[in-house]
Structure 1
């Protein structure tokens, strides 16, 4: 629903003014120290990462609603025109909110090359047990590096490995999901 999306982003702009740490700004800082990466900003909102570093990286911005010319509207679980293994870094900044959020991460696994980086920023309060989430990411084919609490957020960085994601598993996150098949 475009109206809900617009309302969410209006509230988000207002809220982030009070934050000590703004996740997309942290990603921009990280990207400014590098050159020439192929980046997928998944759930990009206003595509502020592409706006900031699009001159030094190839940034593809995806969200359910295209607010401007930099954003491609789609379901993040089925990215159009992104080949398998094409991406160096897949970023989720406060964007694991759809009912099919596990499918978003499966799609990130598909588009990342082996050893490609997955960056996730979510409020720390959304994780009942961060260890469960990390274990589930491993089942989706990622090697999880040490998560870091940054301000009110948990920053998780992981590398795609050669394992295929476990079918049917749902991540334990925001009070949803279960262990699924082992």
Structure 2
């Protein structure tokens, strides 16, 4: 009698175990499918932000703020897979480089995403007395982020000591962002850029583009496999992007003339190409 009861219990346990395994398998499949959908959504949003101007992107995300959060969640997941973080490298630069140490600075983080740089300095009592970070992006994910189109910053001329673009030169009008950074930087202020290597037709051309604004190059760090970190210094009072694009300027930047380049935007798109994913 007791043997039969024991056998029934064993059979029931096996049945429950099989059921649990099926449920776990179904749950894992659902989670994997959900991750694939989120990944696809991130890629679509990423490509969208590279291929429209900032005004259009701002309108879109104002109407769909949840998509901006989806984008930045996917972005953070991607960066976690990289050997080093661009934001981590920029924080290290601001805290350890001689030109920034023990100085009172106003720093503008342009296209700040989740505002990690401002958050870092606000948490450090000593550094927060020296470095004031102002964060700007299309959507304010956190209360301290200033919601704006970074091609039109709510800041006075020559009002900040350093401007940062950490993988944020997105949009077909990214030259407008650079022009705004130039405007708000003080004379001898610093422009810090982290940019994906694969976007640049050549790194030299990108450097020539930025120095052609009225900057000089101070640092060009190519050691990372995914991105290059640049530091430029503002040496002129007027941004040299103003005025028509002529072939002399094209030659100065590209090292050759190209009659197909009729305006600054077309030149910008040739130098920094959008991240476009292959259709599967």
TM, length-normalised to structure 1: 0.89
Q: Is the 2:158–2:185 Cα contact (8 Å) retained in structure 1? A: yes
Matched, 1:150 2:223: yes
Query: In 2, Cα distance between the equivalents of 1:115 and 1:150?
Result: 26
SS of the residue 1:76 aligns to = coil
1:110 corresponds to which of 165, 173, 183: 183
Where 1:109 maps in the other structure, the secondary structure is helix
For residues 89-139 of structure 1, what are the alpha-carbon distances to aligned partners after superposition, in whole Å with 9 as ceiling and x for unaligned?
Answer: 100001001221000000000000111000100111111111111111122
Q: 1:1-182 residue pairs with structure 2 within 5 A?
A: 1=61, 2-33=65-96, 34-35=101-102, 36-54=104-122, 55=128, 56-80=130-154, 82-151=155-224, 152-162=226-236, 163-167=238-242, 168=244, 169-170=264-265, 171=268, 172-175=270-273
Inter-CA distance 31–138: structure 2 relative to 1 (3 Å threshold): closer
Q: Which has the larger radius of gyration?
A: 2
Is the 2:193–2:229 contact (alpha carbons within 8 Å) kept by the matching residues of 1?
yes
Distance 1:175 1:28 in 2: 26
- How many residue pairs get aligned? The number is 175
Any idea what SS the aligned residue of 1:68 has?
Answer: coil
Task: Choose between structure 1 and 2: higher strand proportion.
Answer: 1
Separation in structure 2 between the aligned mates of residue 166 and residue 43 of structure 1, nearest angstrom: 21
* Deviating more after overlay: 115-124 vs 128-137: 128-137
SS of 2:222's equivalent in the other structure is: strand
Q: What is the aligned partner in structure 2 of residue 180 from structure 1?
A: none
* C-alpha distance in structure 1 between counterparts of 2:233 and 2:272, whole Å: 23
1:19 Cα deviation (Å)? 1.2
Deviation of the 1:146 alpha carbon: 4.2
Aligned alpha-carbon RMSD (Å): 1.6
**Structure 1 stretches of 5 or more lacking a match?**
177-182
- Structure 2 portions without partners, runs of 5+: 1-60, 123-127, 245-263, 275-280
The 3-state SS of whatever aligns with 2:114 is coil
Given that 1:21 and 1:150 are in contact with CA atoms closer than 8 Å, whether structure 2 keeps it comes out as no
CA distance in 1, matches of 2:209, 2:156: 24
